[in-house]
Amino acid sequence: MSNLYDSAHGLSKAIKESEEFQALVTAQEKVNEEDTSKKMLQDFREMQMELQMKQMQGQQLSEEEIQKANSLFETIKLNPTISSLLEAEQRLSVVMEDINKIIAEPLKEIYGDDEEQENA
């Protein structure tokens, strides 16, 4: 039986070498090279964090906060450099979700699948 930690390190290396990860690195570097794009993205991420913290504390987001966040998101998507970064993040996110599902398969064998239990 192989060492699980060695396998995890191998997976980490494979992720870093993947096309999706490399595209994300390149897109992030491009954003960092453009002060305006970097600032826009930083402002958006800070707003995201503030709203997430508020939700985690059980506070309801106001309609104004939601509209402001949506408006800022639509604005940053118009920036081609940031848009490329967001697309790269999404592609890597899909890969990571798929990997997490694969890794969780042994637990499904023990505990079952939530969807199967809900449909039963």
User: Is 11 a domain residue?
Assistant: no
User: Is 101 a domain residue?
Assistant: yes
- Here the tokens at position 112 are 């079952």
At 111, is the pLDDT very low, low, confident or very high (cuts 50, 70, 90)?
very high
User: Is 67 a domain residue?
Assistant: yes
Alpha-carbon distances, residue 57 vs 15, 36, 45, 60, 62 (angstroms) = 33, 32, 18, 9, 14
| pLDDT exceeds 90 at position 98 | yes
pLDDT in tens, 2-37: 699 999 999 999 999 999 999 999 999 999 999 999
**pLDDT greater at residue 119 or residue 95:** 95
Domain total in the chain: 1
User: Is 81 a domain residue?
Assistant: yes
What is the percent of the chain with per-residue pLDDT over 90, rounded to a whole number?
90
- Here the tokens at position 98 are 């798929």
- CATH number of the domain residue 48 falls in: 1.20.1500.10
Alpha-carbon span 28 to 74, nearest angstrom: 19
**pTM score:** 0.80
Domain that residue 69 falls in: 18-110
User: Is 6 a domain residue?
Assistant: no
At 110, is the pLDDT very low, low, confident or very high (cuts 50, 70, 90)?
very high
Give the pLDDT mean for 41-67. 94
Look over the chain and give the mean of its residue pLDDT values, rounded to a whole number.
92
Q: Is 34 exposed, middle or buried (0-12, 13-18, 19+ CB in 10 A)?
A: middle
User: Is 2 a domain residue?
Assistant: no
